[in-house]
Amino acid sequence: MAFLNFPDKFAWGAATCAYQIEGAWNEDGKGPSIWDTFSRLPGKVSDGSNADVACDHYHRWQEDIRIMAELNMNAYRFSISWPRILPQGAGKINAPGLDFYDRLVDGLLARGIEPFITLYHWDLPQALHDAGGWPNRDTASHFAEYARIVAERLGDRVTKWITHNEPSVVSLLGYFTGEYAPGEINPMGTFQAAHNLFLSHGLAMQALRTTAKKPAQVGIVLHLRPVHPATNSELDKAAAWRYDGVINRFFLDPVFFGRYPEDTWKLLEIIMPKIQDGDMEIISAPIDFLGVNYYTRFVMRHDPDTMLIQAVEAPPAESEYSGLWEIYGPGLYEMLTRIQKDYHPAQIYITENGIPVPDGIDWDGRLRDYRRIRYLRDNLVQLHRAINKGVPVLGYFHWTLLDNFEWSHGYEPRFGLVYVDYKTQKRTIKESGRWISQVIQQNAIDPDPGPPFFPR
């Protein structure tokens, strides 16, 4: 089979998040975030851990950049910790926090790795949570000011900006199910939080564009999953469409159409947000690119006992589980072509895609994560297919560079291309890391999987 070539100048890299890798949770003037607080509450993180140290990236960033260069990466998506810059969320700036990211950006550029900065990857300053958090509209203006401060410092070198990572997860898991920080079960605040996140996205976009010295290209990252009905029955199809409204369309429509989906609004009317005049115009100002995080799909069936939905597992013969989620490669193609058809973003980046595998180092020091390679190949073939269909995807970021703190699952799931021994902080590049470095070098993949589990 012929190699599949990716477009010229394709961005290849990995994505990370400040709280999940940096550690140094209270160093150099950093303030506490909601995750510092939440992870300390008994029972909130399955292995009782937190990210006080994590991968110690705050001190080992130079080594981590060297690893990215060794893997041939030309781009890196990372997030900035808001409470490192503004310990109270607003007001006094913490200069050492800005200095850290300044050094990081310079270090990346010196190796020819383009920084893609995410401003919010879930570590809200605790002080802002105490003042009401995302359900409080004021948080949106504080976020815009934080964006301005960062752009003023880094906007002479950085051109790719992401306002938010996965507002659906922030609002639904943070304020509805309470599984993630701040851990509220607050249906009335859930969609208000989502609306304020969108508002903050629009306001921050204005701040970035007016402040950064180099023309800022700004996007937002959404976690998107196809939702399939468990059967062909009309009831299951309706259940799937309802769920699609809650997890996909509620987060796409405001950005692209300046309104929330009518069916979802009607369904959840009593908990829908309060919107002020002008909000939707701010929210739907054109973005430069959409970031797509793709992991898996949902399969839904109708349940007469629940108002909304009931999730069911896909039949085992058609699926494989990574421990957390079903592995479903075709979903990436399906999602991308659907986004293109319904929303027409000018540019798309795959900002996350990955799999947790129970990795371990073999007797010879190698880490043979063939399941991750298979996942990667399957997804990259689907991505190539979508690009061939005309979907304007300009880059791919694997989730993630280093094994790290996986939120309420603690350190057990390992998503990295690089294994981290948390006792010693030793990094070991996995076979998947070697594999993707070849793909990047060739800017192409060999779609032939070879014998099962053995990559060629």
**Contact set with ligand IFM (CB under 6 A):** 17, 20, 166, 293, 352, 399, 406
Q: Which tokens is 292 given?
A: 């797509």
Nearer to ligand IFM, 36 or 352 (CB): 352
H-type alpha helices, 74-114: 82-85, 95-110
Q: What angle do CA 178, 263, 220 make, to 5 degrees?
A: 55
In contact, 162 and 219? CB cutoff 8 Å = yes
166 is catalytic: yes
3-class secondary structure, 84: helix
Q: Which residue has the tokens 């050492």?
A: 96
**Catalytic one of 22, 166, 184, 431:** 166
Choose between 267 and 324: whose C-beta lies nearer to ligand IFM.
324
CA 2 – CA 239 distance, rounded (Å) = 41
Catalytic residue check, 406 = no
Q: Which of 22, 114, 326, 352 is catalytic?
A: 352
Nearest residue to the partner ligand IFM, using Cβ? 17
Asked, as a colleague might, if the bond just before 337 is cis with ω within 30 of 0, I would say: no
Residue 16: CB minimum distance to ligand IFM, A: 9
The span from the CA of 278 to the CA of 61, in Å, is 42
Residue 433 · residue 111 · CB < 8 Å: no
| Contact present, 235 and 310 (Cβ < 8 Å) | no
Q: CB of residue 51 vs ligand IFM: minimum separation in angstroms?
A: 11
Least CB distance to ligand IFM at residue 406 (A): 5
C-beta closer to ligand IFM: residue 345 or 416: 416
C-alpha neighbours within 13 Å on the C-beta side of residue 81:
35
Q: Which is nearer to ligand IFM, 250 or 411 (CB)?
A: 411
| Of 33, 8, 2, 67, residue with least CA distance to 401 | 67
Strand partners, 221: 165, 291
Q: Is there a contact between 355 and 375 (Cβ–Cβ < 8 Å)?
A: yes
- 57 vs 302, beta carbon nearer ligand IFM: 57
Q: Which amino acid is at 186?
A: N
- How far is Cα 127 from Cα 87, in angstroms, rounded to an integer? 8
What sign has the CA pseudo-torsion 124, 32, 29, 422?
negative
Distance of CA 52 to CAs 33, 36, 80, 179, 395, Å?
11, 8, 16, 19, 31
User: Which of 122, 78, 191, 89 lies closest to 408 in space, CA to CA?
Assistant: 122
Closer by beta carbon to ligand IFM, 192 or else 400: 400
CB closer to ligand IFM out of 149 and 162: 162
Supply the residues annotated as catalytic: 166, 352
